Amino acid sequence: MDTLSGKVAVITGAASGIGRACAIALARRGTSVVVADIDGQGAGSTATEITASGGAATAAWLRTPTSFPTIGGLLSAVLYAVPKQASSAPGADPRTRGTTLMRKIDLPELDQAAFTAKYGPWAIIAGASEGTGACYAEQLAAMGINLVLVSRRKEALDALGLRLQDQYGIEYRSLTADLTEAGAGGRLVEATADLDIGLYISNAGADGAGNSFFGAPVERSLRLLTMNAANVLEASHGFGNRFLARGKGGIVIMSSGAGLGGQPWLVMYSATKAFELNFVESLWAELDGQNVDIVGIAAPIMDTPTLRRATEGLGMDYSMAYDPADVCALALANLGKEPLVLVPDGPDEAKIPQLQADRKSRLVALAEWGKAYTAAAGA
């Protein structure tokens, strides 16, 4: 057995170059790696690459070389990465499953060849510069699917695209877009008219907690409504019609557990994410039998750069967060199988699996009723 297996290694300057190479090499030998760097995005990218390949890693953003928050954050990351005894016993603490102190998911099998044949050769990811978007990009690139990467930060998109191009031999295109602007969803469809897109992933739409609906300008709420409703609708309509014309394709909508019910101080986020869940369910039933699939994910709290920035200095226990790579893999594995995937999270998480089953049963019943009504109306 490798003497480094099961150990924890802290590597500073690991966002690129020799540090990054050392982190990847150690992870391949079974070491849990803390990827630390003042380049938080680069550290996150290295950690994402390691976890996507089956290794154990967490990123630590060293904000300044000598600050106390830097040391505290590094110690927190070390504790986060300490290997724990795996357990699959009923009732075992989900935070200690797997090899790191992180909520893990038992992932179903994915037939990558079949997935690529149906949803390739190109996929477009709206909101791809970091976090779950980068995880989706990594996992799709590993299957040989070419990528259109979309966000407001072209530099970050190109860095990700070039790395995946070098590593997996795929092609990529970066598109700069502000998805809070009206018409942005339609422009994505137009900008990719020359590509054989088979998969559209809506991954934008994060919003920090603690925002008062009445205390913020109404324009802020309208921008979130545009991003999470109008532009998701436009892009889904455009790409969906292209998929129907080509006879195959898929849509993944990253919603949130916040959409399962009202949530104070996340009013517009909760409301627009509820729209996405209902939107997906309805389309799932309408698309039945047409070889075009759609799935919505009620995403849980995930340890992403967005979460880290939003909760900085709040003393949050990040071990309660899920691995974003797992959530993305779960979404891809359920495309073509389920209308919604509700990841257990929050104060009522024990009820979530039953809630998912109940929503699907209701949807199937309504779909059958709708078919019967339509047939009777046309008779």
What amino acid occupies position 86?
Answer: A
Residue 180 and residue 227 in contact, taking contact as beta carbons nearer than 8 Å: yes
Return the structure tokens found at 17. Answer: 């170059």
What amino acid occupies position 325?
Answer: A
Q: Spell out the SS3 assignment of 108-162.
A: CCCCHHHHHHHHCCEEEEECCCCHHHHHHHHHHHHCCCEEEEEECCHHHHHHHHH
Q: Which of 269, 318, 322, 351 is catalytic?
A: 269
Distances from the Cα of 318 to the Cαs of 59, 101, 265, 303, 343, in angstroms? 12, 9, 21, 7, 17
Locate the DSSP E strands across the chain. 8-12, 32-37, 57-61, 122-126, 146-151, 172-176, 197-202, 249-256, 292-299, 340-342
What amino acid occupies position 147?
Answer: L
Q: Which of 80, 118, 200, 273 is catalytic?
A: 273
Active site residue 168: no
For the chain, the residue count is 379
Active site residue 337: no
Which residues are catalytically annotated? 269, 273
